[in-house]
Structure 1
Amino acid sequence: MGTIRAVERSAVLPKPVSEFISGARAAQRTIADWPQKRVDAAVAAIAWHICRPETARELTGSAYSQTGIGSPEDAFVQLGRRVHGALSDFHGVQTLGLIEAEPERRLRRYAKPIGVIGVLTPATAPIAAITVNAMTAVKTRNAAVICANPGVRSAGAAAVEVIRQGLKAAGAPVDLVQFLTEPARSRAVELAEQCDMVIATGGAATVRRASAAGRPTYSGGPGNAVVIIDETADLTQAADAIVAGKTFDNGTSCSAESTLIVARAISGLMRAELTARGVHFCDAAEGARLRATVWPDGKLFRGAVGQPATRIAKLAGVEAPDGTRALAADIGADPESDPMCGEKLSPIMGFTTYGGFDEAVALVRRLTAIAGRGHSCGIHSSNASHVERLAEAAEVSRMMVNQSTGLGNSGSFGNGMPFTSTISCGSWGGSTLNENVTWRRFLNYTWVSEPLQRPAPSWETLMEPYLAIADATA
């Protein structure tokens, strides 16, 4: 295909951010009155062009060659999965005009585009993030200006060029989706200040810069998916799910399983199941070397992010056997001072045990507070009471039951979660939302209210909860 080389050959000096914005506004006005079928055709064209196997492989392979993070094969699979999932979520969905009516309340809701969406995308899974956000913007009759992590500039620009080819083939203005040349922190801030809404996925600094611009912003939060495996779990299924989620794309997903909390009665069996699937459990000395290598001075070493377990083991002097897919180490008695309890972005897991289930729930709350408050947790169990207790107590925005957090949080054909590239974490994680950011957040809405006479409950009825207490304590 040669898309990457073509983009590099055509590189030009960066133009002002304002020119990208003005071009995007003109393109967005062109499609502001398009019917749903024409909008949907443009979205499908983007997916068609990006997901041609040779194109998708070149783009994801180029992104890997530029960052060295993750796995090019998994990135290729993830791109197809995310695009397919987003199209599935979009299918048959009305995103313009009258989209909801409540006759009994005489209310109607009309969907309107926002305008220009500024999209800040990360170095991990960059092609999927760019594509899904571009598709979502067009589905809602918006324009998008993409500012990718500088480390994937060429691959990001090439992905947007393919997206623009799709738009052109569908008869849509190509400036609906643009790539901010020379991505840099200052230009990302300019974009956030000049667009109408920001989608920010990346590190905490990226999210802070976007939020400080003063525009409506939807962002992701740091992940630290803590997972309980209780004594009623199907250990074979649990181990399969955990290892699949932890090792996919070398653990770069913020949703990947981070720390396992295992019932003491079955901890030996669980260790054996994980070991059989390529997890190497470090002894105390190896665990110390692993911490010193991956978190020197307590901060995550970028050279370990998204690397294979065998490479990390070699760096740390851990004698892991051939075929090792992930590394695990027991966490310390003081999780707040143990870097193993923080965000990993690599095929490394913490491991600990519990006695009573209340202890497990307390550990989930304590561990998520360290590096992933509001993000996610999981549980492998056939005890409905345990599932309910964790759901009520955990300060997370999503909880996966008997499935991988790494493969389930952001949408899956194995659950009902909507597909997304941006996982918001509520006020716990400094986000506006407690949900996956989808097309619903790319729209403005007009509520239309018709007159309706409805009876008002008496004051006495409304005061009954308080009066019952007042009478009892009088």
Structure 2
Amino acid sequence: MIIDNDLLSMQQARILAENACAAQKALALFPQERLDEIVERIVLAVTPHLGELAKLSCTETDGGLWQDKLVKNGFVCTNVFERLGAVRCVGVIAEDRANGLMDVGVPLGVIAAACPSTSPVSTTIYLTLIAIKSGNAIVFTPHPRAEKSMKRVLDIMIPAAHEAGLPEGCLTYLDTVTRSGSLELMNHPCVSLLLVSGVPGLLEAARSTGKPVIYGGTGNGPAFIERTADIVRAVRDILASKTFDNGMAPSAEQSIVVDGCVEREVVQALEENGAYFMTEVQSLALAEHFFCPLGKRRKGTMGVSASVLASRAGFSVPDGTRVLVARRKYVADNDPYSRELLAPVLALYVEDDWMHACEKCIELLLHEKNAHTLSIHSQDEEVIRQFALKKPVGRLLVNTPAAFGGMGATTNLFPSMTLGSGSAGRGITADNVSPMNLVYVRKIGRGVRDGESLLGSARPADVRPANFGSVERSDNEFHGTDQLHLLERILKEAIKTIR
């Protein structure tokens, strides 16, 4: 029997969306406490499998380090879970009795979600938790390169959620994965919101649906080391961030911009901490390994260690090399190092002062229109303030490793595995995506002032009532018809002038 997987996937998408819509209507009636119980049961069910899932995702995607993927999985099931417990996002979420105000959180409905191959397990768990926490149904379309990992973690969570009382159909996934099925799901009228996390290939299709899109991407995020920074600490932070999961964390640094007067100290600290500075020939050879001549990214380059990348590019590096560094001068379309490299590779730019560095950072942020994350290492509060005010970016991280600060591990940002982009048009939020991004807030306001007195104080004493023009005129008044004649004359004169 010949099976058309495209048609099968599209049919599954329709069924899943319709079932999710019906199930979510029941879920929308659940109080916050009951939703929290389901979330807790899911976390308890998946936690014993986190190591197995980390190894599976690393093997399947052939990128990253399973130990670091385990850290991300554990972060969601501990730090994120703890933070979610303090959030109310459905029902009455805020009340100001003194001023007669109340906020009510209302679920959006059915969410269609796509997760990245870089963090398939942790992102799937995270989106499941925040969707159910906020009373929404969620239907996943697994990433083709991480299909086994995503299906495995969902197969663990779904039965646990049902046993805890989640209506069947509220947490599901597309079993036959094709692009046609994903597009059918996103376009289905039962779907209210699209959540595209780290899958740029689906972004344009998602935006064309006319539905609200939350886009959690990565980006060419620079790190600026300013002259007042603690140089050694800054370099260690950057390398710890860039080597985490072999450079695949969503907010990890992609380049370093250095204040010219501290260039020598920065280079020395980088070399002492495992950075290898490539020659221009080596840089070009490595770039060819990442991208085809027409600019398309080659497969098998994400999340690969520095030594393996160097070997594939035809040169060797000393033992203990953690990161490959390419010196660059300009941000250009034909320079691969101006693009996002999800690997332990960094571009290094040197600028005369912080103002020129500021401009370089803006160029890098806007080059691929992601404007995701920027980090700065400085002790000068005025420089930090200027960067905060002027950079077109979703988040600015100060004196912290960007991979960890962006996800809220070393900062007090909301702990999240889906980080919004700051570029206009890429999505509806630049937040660290939380359950509050999956509800709308209904505003309730009680009357506290008298309407008649407000109208009376606002209306001038000589303003005529609504029937003005229908009463007899006095010598100094116009009839309503006289007013119309006057307007008619003015319009005729205007038309003559135009002609």
TM-score by length of 1: 0.88
Q: Cα deviation per residue 1:221-266 (whole Å; 9 max; x = unaligned)? A: 4411111101111122111210111011111123111110112222
Q: Could you list the runs of 5+ residues in structure 1 that have no partner in the other structure? A: 1-12, 459-474
Query: Which amino acid is 1:133 matched to?
Result: L
Could you tell me how far apart the structure 1 residues matched to 2:24 and 2:426 are?
30
Counterpart in the other structure of 1:321: 318
Could you tell me how far apart the structure 2 residues matched to 1:199 and 1:430 are?
12
Query: Is 1:84–2:78 an aligned residue pair?
Result: yes
CA contact (8 A) 1:89 1:419 kept: yes
Counterpart in the other structure of 1:232: 228
Counterpart in the other structure of 2:473: none
Q: Could you list the runs of 5+ residues in structure 2 that have no partner in the other structure? A: 1-7, 459-499
SS in 2 for 1:85: helix
CA contact (8 A) 1:107 1:450 kept: yes
Which of residues 295, 300, 305 is equivalent to 1:303? 300
Query: Which amino acid is 1:368 matched to?
Result: L
Query: Is 1:369–2:366 an aligned residue pair?
Result: yes
Could you tell me how far apart the structure 2 residues matched to 1:433 and 1:367 are?
21
Counterpart in the other structure of 2:468: none
CA contact (8 A) 1:153 1:182 kept: no
Counterpart in the other structure of 2:193: 197
How many positions carry a matched residue from both structures? 443
Deviation at 1:273, TM superposition (A): 1.5
1:76-115 map, 5 Å: 76-103=70-97, 105-115=99-109
Deviation at 1:77, TM superposition (A): 0.9
Query: Which amino acid is 1:306 matched to?
Result: G
Deviation at 1:451, TM superposition (A): 2.0
Counterpart in the other structure of 2:441: 445
Deviation at 1:173, TM superposition (A): 3.2
Deviation at 1:385, TM superposition (A): 1.1
Could you tell me how far apart the structure 2 residues matched to 1:373 and 1:355 are?
26
Counterpart in the other structure of 2:406: 409
Query: Is 1:160–2:159 an aligned residue pair?
Result: no
CA contact (8 A) 1:224 1:343 kept: yes
Could you tell me how far apart the structure 2 residues matched to 1:318 and 1:381 are?
35
Superposition CA RMSD, Å: 2.1
Which of residues 355, 365, 383 is equivalent to 1:358? 355
CA contact (8 A) 2:12 2:174 kept: no
CA contact (8 A) 1:374 1:428 kept: no
Query: Is 1:275–2:271 an aligned residue pair?
Result: yes
Which of residues 256, 279, 283 is equivalent to 1:260? 256
CA contact (8 A) 1:122 1:149 kept: yes
Counterpart in the other structure of 1:390: 387
Could you tell me how far apart the structure 1 residues matched to 2:239 and 2:266 are?
12
CA contact (8 A) 1:64 1:70 kept: yes
CA contact (8 A) 2:13 2:182 kept: no
SS in 2 for 1:19: helix
Structure-2 change in CA distance of 1:203 and 1:38 (3 Å): closer
CA contact (8 A) 1:156 1:179 kept: no
Deviation at 1:429, TM superposition (A): 5.9
Could you tell me how far apart the structure 1 residues matched to 2:135 and 2:331 are?
50
Deviation at 1:105, TM superposition (A): 4.8
Could you tell me how far apart the structure 2 residues matched to 1:164 and 1:449 are?
39
Could you tell me how far apart the structure 1 residues matched to 2:52 and 2:218 are?
29
Query: Is 1:45–2:51 an aligned residue pair?
Result: no
Could you tell me how far apart the structure 1 residues matched to 2:151 and 2:119 are?
14
Q: Among the aligned pairs, what percent are the same residue?
A: 25
CA contact (8 A) 1:290 1:318 kept: no
Deviation at 1:178, TM superposition (A): 0.7
Deviation at 1:201, TM superposition (A): 1.2
CA contact (8 A) 2:223 2:376 kept: yes
Deviation at 1:162, TM superposition (A): 0.7
Q: Cα deviation per residue 1:194-245 (whole Å; 9 max; x = unaligned)? A: 2121111123221111222222221124411111101111122111210111
Could you tell me how far apart the structure 2 residues matched to 1:174 and 1:57 are?
28
Query: Which amino acid is 1:375 matched to?
Result: H
Query: Which amino acid is 1:225 matched to?
Result: G
Query: Is 1:118–2:115 an aligned residue pair?
Result: no
Question: Structure 1 stretch 125-134 or stretch 372-381: which is displaced more?
Answer: 372-381
Q: Cα deviation per residue 1:106-159 (whole Å; 9 max; x = unaligned)? A: 332111222211111111100111111111111011111111111111221111
Structure with bigger gyration radius:
2
CA contact (8 A) 2:225 2:256 kept: yes
Structure-2 change in CA distance of 1:127 and 1:334 (3 Å): closer
TM-score by length of 2: 0.84
Could you tell me how far apart the structure 1 residues matched to 2:425 and 2:372 are?
7
Counterpart in the other structure of 1:337: 334
Query: Is 1:147–2:141 an aligned residue pair?
Result: yes
Could you tell me how far apart the structure 2 residues matched to 1:242 and 1:318 are?
24
